Amino acid sequence: MSAPFSGTAVDYYSVDGTEGSFTVSPGSAVDIQSATGQSATDYRPQGFTRFKAVGFVVAHSGADGAGRDATPAVPITALGQIIAQPFHIEDSGNGDQTSVTIFGPYVGTARVYEWNDTTGELDLAYTVPLNRQGVTVSTQADQFHPTAGQVSNEPDTGVVALVGQLGPGVVIADVPIAIISQSNSPLTDTVRSQNGTPTTTIINDDDETLMFGITPASIAADIRERGDGVLVRQNINASNVGTWEVA
């Protein structure tokens, strides 16, 4: 992490409950892993960390050594609730090689859909809970810890097991998110293009790829501050009955 002004104070909060602070100055970048003690690999959910800086900062995380990839830090304002997942995800390797990782600031649910060439519709492939780990929310400060979930062959907390190849599609969530996708092998296949004809898919060869999306007004999360300061999200069921849940 780098900053343009000296002594920029930064607080950090990880999915697994880790939190703390450090300072960063121009010409003296901070190694985030060393500063936070957070060493979760393979983009596993518990490693996702939120930073709150008193001033401007820029940061990135390193990926695996195969491609020397780097994923930039994501501003909360850039998150959306419908995000394209344009890759064929091969069912091989662990989370370091094949995964769809979903993360954001609030507790919620993400649904991973893949395109069905036969029916011409999206099929629900996975439902991924987005949670914090080991964090009991009693104040809004507790909610600075982000949430995350993953679809992969990584046997870990917050991971939904990948079963078979996952085709291109979209991820739709009831809270703001971004996703990181990668496939162990460069699968080539066709998908439906904008005018309905087949086109060659975008190829991913073990390259961690960060993607953003949009938030249609019809599904935008309704998040409010409760009387005690805790943020809550309205959940409306199929019977049009709304309940407020801790975000």
CA–CA separation, 223 vs 218, rounded Å? 14
* pLDDT value at residue 1: 95
Split at pLDDT 50, 70, 90, the class of 195 is: confident
| pTM of the predicted structure, to 2 decimals | 0.92
In the numeric block, the tokens 């943020």 are attached to: 231
141 contacts: CB under 8 Å, gap ≥ 6: none
In this model, does residue 206 exceed pLDDT 70? yes
Comparing CA positions, the residue from 95, 174, 83, 168 lying closest to residue 128 is 174
In this model, does residue 217 exceed pLDDT 60? yes
Mean pLDDT of 55-80: 82
Among 41-45, 134-138, 177-181, the range scoring the smallest mean pLDDT is 41-45
Task: Burial-class residue 121 by CB neighbours within 10 Å (0-12, 13-18, 19+).
Answer: exposed
Split at pLDDT 50, 70, 90, the class of 62 is: confident
* pLDDT value at residue 36: 93
Q: Report the 10 Å Cβ neighbour count for 151.
A: 28
Mean pLDDT of 6-27: 96
- Mean pLDDT score across all residues of the chain: 91
CA–CA separation, 23 vs 54, rounded Å? 10
Q: Are 114 and 187 in contact (CB under 8 A)?
A: no
Q: Are 113 and 171 in contact (CB under 8 A)?
A: yes
| Span 107-125, pLDDT tens digits | 999 999 998 888 989 999 9
* pLDDT value at residue 40: 79
In this model, does residue 192 exceed pLDDT 90? no
* pLDDT value at residue 138: 96
Comparing CA positions, the residue from 103, 1, 13 lying closest to residue 55 is 1
| Span 38-47, pLDDT tens digits | 887 778 899 9
